[in-house]
């Protein structure tokens, strides 16, 4: 059973299931390119020396740690972050080792807004702002196709309205 199917109740169906927008991976990819390029350049500089082997090992260790911390960790964080709208609720799950989540029943959502600046509009994402009955507004950043998600969530709210 794929995520989030294992979390669904009876007669509950997934309407939207998204990860954050790929724009949050741009900086980690740039870090990867800089680390690999810089490490390769430094390795080529010390290649003619007689002590190049310990320097290469040190460069590999430092480069590996930098790539793990600044590229692999954000990629795993992106992959384990889920924004899900079902017929009954809005679910957000995030975290790798420590998971956290928010579930808001669709009937308790008062209003849904979205916001996206120029860069967000160019890449096709934005911030979804959800106001529920008792909580402060929750903001979910980097939602891909935020206008479409806004429309689908609004439709689910209207369909679940008992009036």
Q: Please answer whether residues 29 and 72 qualify as being in contact, where contact means their C-beta atoms are separated by less than 8 angstroms.
A: no
* CATH node for 84-160: 2.30.29
- The confidence score (pLDDT) of residue 2 equals 61
- Tokens for 27? 């900086």
Burial classification of residue 149, based on how many CB atoms lie within 10 Å of its CB (0-12 exposed, 13-18 middle, 19 or more buried): buried
Kindly report the backbone phi and psi dihedral angles of residue 95, in degrees, each rounded to the nearest multiple of 5, phi listed first. 120, 155
Residues of the chain with pLDDT under 70: 1-2, 134-135, 161-163
Supply the DSSP symbol for 136: P
- The confidence score (pLDDT) of residue 135 equals 67
Q: Which of 141, 93, 92 is nearest to 117 (CA)?
A: 141
**What is the Cα–Cα distance from 132 to 89, expressed in whole angstroms?**
12
- The confidence score (pLDDT) of residue 161 equals 66
**pTM for the model:** 0.82
- The confidence score (pLDDT) of residue 1 equals 45
């Amino acid at each position: 059973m794929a995520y989030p199917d294992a979390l669904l109740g009876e007669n509950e169906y997934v309407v939207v299931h998204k990860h954050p927008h790929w724009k949050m991976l741009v900086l980690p990819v740039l870090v990867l390119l800089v680390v690999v390029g810089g490490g390769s350049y430094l390795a080529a500089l010390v290649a003619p020396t007689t002590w190049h082997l310990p320097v290469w090992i040190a460069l590999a260790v430092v480069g590996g740690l930098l790539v793990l911390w600044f590229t692999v960790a954000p990629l795993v964080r992106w992959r384990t972050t889920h924004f899900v709208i079902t017929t009954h609720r809005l679910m957000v799950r995030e975290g790798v080792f420590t998971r956290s989540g928010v579930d808001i029943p669709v009937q308790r959502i008062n209003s849904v807004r979205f916001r996206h600046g120029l860069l967000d509009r160019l890449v096709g994402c934005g911030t979804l702002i959800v106001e529920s009955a008792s909580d402060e507004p929750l903001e979910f950043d980097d939602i891909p196709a935020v206008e479409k998600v806004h429309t689908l969530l609004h439709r689910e709210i209207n369909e679940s309205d008992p009036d």
